[in-house]
Amino acid sequence: MTNASKQDRVLIFDTTLRDGEQSPGATMTHNEKLEIAEMLDDMGVDIIEAGFPIASEGDFAAVSEIAKRSKNSRICGLARANFKDIDRCAEAVRHAGQSRIHTFIGTSPLHREIPNLTKDEMADLIHETVTHARNLVENVQWSPMDATRTEFDYLCRVIEIAIKAGATTINIPDTVGYTAPRESADLIRRLIETVPGADEVIFATHCHNDLGMATANALAAVDAGARQIECTINGLGERAGNTALEEVVMAMKVRNDLMPYQTGIDTTKIMSISRRVAAVSGFAVQYNKAIVGKNAFAHESGIHQDGMLKNAENFEIMRPQDVGLSGTSLPLGKHSGRAALRAKLEDLGFELGDNQLKDVFVRFKDLADRKKEVHDDDILALMRDSESAAQNDHLKVKFLRVICGTEAPQSADLTLTIDGVDHQVTATGDGPVDATFNAVKALFPHQARLQLYQVHAVTEGTDAQATVSVRMEEDGKIVTGQSADTDTVVASAKAYVNALNRLIVRRQKTAPDSDVKTVKYTDSV
């Protein structure tokens, strides 16, 4: 028997498609959700929380389709503590080879005030709803939302009720990122020691990163006996985000001497899914992000570079290849052919059909004519831009010319294709970007408010591509758009139009009546 087989197995529960997508502006399209789910399934995630089926027809359809397509992972849907939510969830996951209903209710004093239930009334409701869920599926997860701020005695009481009602996994959420590692471990340990039947279920941990301790709190909980970690790719999630999958998985892999636990994750697939989630969510990964940041394996100081040349282990505790990065990053150029581009794309985690490759190759050649060298990050930006253009074609930038300089007014001459028809206008503004956005708004009037405008250089040099991200809000709907180009103003125009295209899709969606008498709030764990 190998050492790995002797180790305790920690289940990885990924909620990128549910809790991660709830981050303002991170909404994904139906096809993007299916793609991310397939990648999660392929990398070895044990449970995929695919969405909140009662939230909308779109969420229900996505969870249903992911359930049908899943090959290895257990597919889970979220439901509040009422029969309507639970029935809808069961319907959504019923086609999965392995399914789960995750139902929850807020148990802390603050959260008990929301549905205005007494402790006894809430206890009865937990028994009824968990029993109902267990009658529909064999695998039920129950969560006392805001568990870390719930009175310990009451927490023990409701967990015992949930176990007796048939819950197979008890998740302990740190809903507002309030706890600390020692407290996280103590809570799990005390619950396992105190609650009758605790030895018959799996305890899970769900941590938020409001105080920057989500990963540490999750690992501390595992050390105390939790055997499931709820996490997201890149730590995506509401407010400061969730526990990052890549961080807990690599921590247990690299420091297996201190944390002798194993997962089923193929870590070589981490980088490709990290990049994909960043692209579809519009949330770029910070450069110094652990494991998947651009600088995670970069070394600039002379002392570090000297040490790396002598022995990489001087300053790297893991190999780039362990998370799916190639050992080298050879740039392409205008003389590179399709075979070289296909090989580079495969190395970066993209598998394209012949027609897709043909389209990307045309864009690559255009970029190579404007740049001396096309690096990996340029290719990734190119892919993001290609996908945005393919998925959102209601509006399209056809022609843009701007006049700018020290003397106002700055102007933009724009031709915008709207539903296949070209429209042209010239507008002025406080700078070329403002003028361009004014031109777009003149041709396609809207009330969306620009919340965020960011520009990042993809690589170094004056010929570097600029990646522009915008976030827009209209009537509570928040969308993001991204685009890249060697011309910053062109990238800005395309990103703005990309966001508007997403907004048009959001406008067309109609949510079902989800009013629930039993529980009147829509918070999630």
409 cis-preceded (ω within 30 degrees of 0): yes
CA distance 60 to 51: 8
3-state DSSP of 306-364: HHHHHCHHHCCCCCHHHHCCCCCCCCECCCCCHHHHHHHHHHCCCCCCHHHHHHHHHHH
| Residue 355 marked ligand-binding | no
* Cβ neighbours of residue 301 closer than 8 Å, sequence gap 6 or more: none
Taking the chain, what is the end-to-end CA distance rounded to the nearest angstrom? 39
* Cβ neighbours of residue 164 closer than 8 Å, sequence gap 6 or more: 127, 197
CA distance 301 to 233: 30
Burial class of 299 by CB neighbour count within 10 A (0 to 12, 13 to 18, 19+): middle
DSSP string spanning 139-185?
-EEEEEETGGGS-HHHHHHHHHHHHHHT-SEEEEEETTS---HHHHH
CA distance 253 to 232: 18
Q: How far is CA 228 from CA 242, 372, 378, in A?
A: 14, 48, 37
| Residue 208 marked ligand-binding | yes
DSSP category for residue 214: H
CA distance 386 to 426: 27
How many CA atoms, within 13 angstroms, populate the side-chain half-sphere of residue 324?
Answer: 22
DSSP category for residue 244: B
| Residue 242 marked ligand-binding | yes
* Cβ neighbours of residue 141 closer than 8 Å, sequence gap 6 or more: 76, 100, 101, 102, 103, 167, 168, 169, 170, 171, 204
With the C-alpha atoms ordered 153, 173, 79, 68, is the resulting torsion angle positive or negative? negative
CA distance 19 to 209: 13
Tell the residue number behind the tokens 């789910």, with chain if given: 37
The answer to whether residues 156 and 164 touch, using CB atoms and an 8 Å cutoff, is no
- Give binding residues for Mn(2+) as ranges: 19, 206, 208, 242
- Give binding residues as ranges: 19, 206, 208, 242
